[in-house]
């Protein structure tokens, strides 16, 4: 059973932040509750104060501007991102990723902010956001700061939020011309947490070579893992099948995946090879067509 707590339901960011400033480590936020209620039921988390931010409608938005890029409010539900026409048009990989995340019920209530702040390295959005060079806006009553999505996860279920801070916005820059991005995850059934996931973004230069590449893996380490050595395999080269295979192999050596009932360390490493190659192939095709 969940331990007793005092409950607050602020309607503004300011109100939520002043509660956080007051109760700090003794407080926890709840957005959709899809992850936090599980850990509270297990008593891995026993906050004295629960701050329910689901009613802060100001943080539920999707805004796009060609210059500024995409801005997603932290309380936007997964389903809204999946179904957003503007995201489908300009950031298709985000919509695709969301379409394979959990069940429709969970997507209809769980928020992108809650997913990222939960800090599960098996989560899908973080890797895709790292590949897209996203930034996160964190707020406290003292002000705001921006962190790279890549810097946000610190360890398993640990993120770079101070006790008085909350995530308010996800910022995704508009990718350069001739960029393609793809996310592939290994699932037993559609909507399962990935046994392994790979997000790859490739930007082609004017001669068709690889000007830039980003590779990030889900469930391959204690944090969403940027595979920088694998990126170097592609950058500056004309990508061919051999290089895609090599990028997958190198990414797999960078991974330190967990072992569980769904797969051993060795199996996940093998699958990292396959899924990095698969995502990179698709990203390349998309970059050529962009």
Ligand X SMILES: Cc1cc2nc3c(=O)[nH]c(=O)nc-3n(C[C@H](O)[C@H](O)[C@H](O)COP(=O)(O)OP(=O)(O)OC[C@H]3O[C@@H](n4cnc5c(N)ncnc54)[C@H](O)[C@@H]3O)c2cc1C
Contact residues for ligand X, defined by CB under 6 A: 28-36, 53, 74, 101-103, 106, 110-111, 113-115, 117-118, 123-125, 161, 166-167, 191-193
CA distance 115 to 123: 7
Strand order of the β-sheet with 196-204 is: 179-186, 196-204, 210-218, 225-226
Residue nearest to ligand X (CB): 114
What is the smallest separation between the CB atom of 187 and ligand X, expressed in angstroms? 7
What is the smallest separation between the CB atom of 66 and ligand X, expressed in angstroms? 27
**In angstroms, what CA-CA distances link 87 with 2, 82, 98?**
37, 8, 11
Nearest to ligand X of 101, 283 (CB atom): 101
What is the smallest separation between the CB atom of 28 and ligand X, expressed in angstroms? 5
Nearest to ligand X of 97, 210 (CB atom): 97
Q: 276: closest CA among 250, 257, 258?
A: 250
- Helix (H) or strand (E) holding 189, with range, is none
Nearest to ligand X of 161, 247 (CB atom): 161
Q: Please, which residues have CB within 8 angstroms of residue 41's CB and are 6 or more apart in sequence?
A: 1, 2
Nearest to ligand X of 89, 190 (CB atom): 190
Residue 11 DSSP class: S
Nearest to ligand X of 36, 287 (CB atom): 36
What is the smallest separation between the CB atom of 45 and ligand X, expressed in angstroms? 7
Other beta carbons within 10 Å of 283: 30
Does residue 24 come out as left (phi exceeding 0), alpha (psi in the -120 to 50 range) or beta? left
Nearest to ligand X of 166, 200 (CB atom): 166
CA distance 63 to 284: 27
What is the smallest separation between the CB atom of 11 and ligand X, expressed in angstroms? 14
**In angstroms, what CA-CA distances link 239 with 125, 160, 207, 276, 277?**
26, 35, 12, 14, 11
């Amino acid at each position: 059973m969940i331990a007793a707590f005092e409950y607050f339901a602020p309607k503004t960011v300011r109100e939520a932040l002043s509660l956080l400033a007051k109760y700090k480590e003794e407080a926890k936020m709840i957005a959709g509750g899809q992850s936090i209620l599980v850990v509270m039921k297990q008593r891995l988390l026993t906050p004295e104060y629960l701050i329910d931010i689901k009613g802060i409608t100001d943080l539920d938005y999707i805004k796009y501007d060609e210059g500024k890029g995409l801005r997603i409010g932290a309380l936007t539900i997964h389903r809204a991102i999946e179904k957003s026409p503007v995201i489908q048009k300009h950031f298709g990989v985000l919509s695709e990723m969301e379409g394979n995340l959990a069940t429709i019920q969970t997507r209809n209530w769980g928020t992108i902010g809650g997913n990222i702040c939960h800090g599960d390295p098996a989560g899908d959005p973080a890797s895709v956001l790292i590949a897209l060079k996203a930034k996160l806006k964190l707020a406290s009553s003292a002000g705001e700061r921006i962190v790279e999505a890549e810097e946000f996860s610190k360890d398993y279920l640990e993120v770079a939020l101070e006790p008085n801070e909350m995530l308010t916005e996800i910022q995704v820059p508009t990718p350069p011309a001739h960029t393609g991005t793809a996310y592939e995850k290994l699932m037993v059934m559609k909507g399962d947490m990935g046994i392994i996931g790979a997000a790859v973004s490739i930007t082609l230069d004017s001669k068709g070579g690889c000007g830039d590449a980003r590779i990030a893996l889900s469930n391959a380490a204690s944090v969403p893992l940027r595979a920088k050595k694998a990126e170097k395999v592609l950058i500056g080269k004309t990508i061919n099948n051999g290089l895609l295979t090599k990028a997958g192999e190198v990414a797999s050596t960078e991974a330190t995946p967990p072992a569980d009932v769904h797969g051993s360390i060795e199996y996940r490493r093998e699958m990292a090879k396959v899924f990095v190659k698969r995502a990179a192939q698709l990203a390349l095709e998309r970059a050529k067509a962009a």
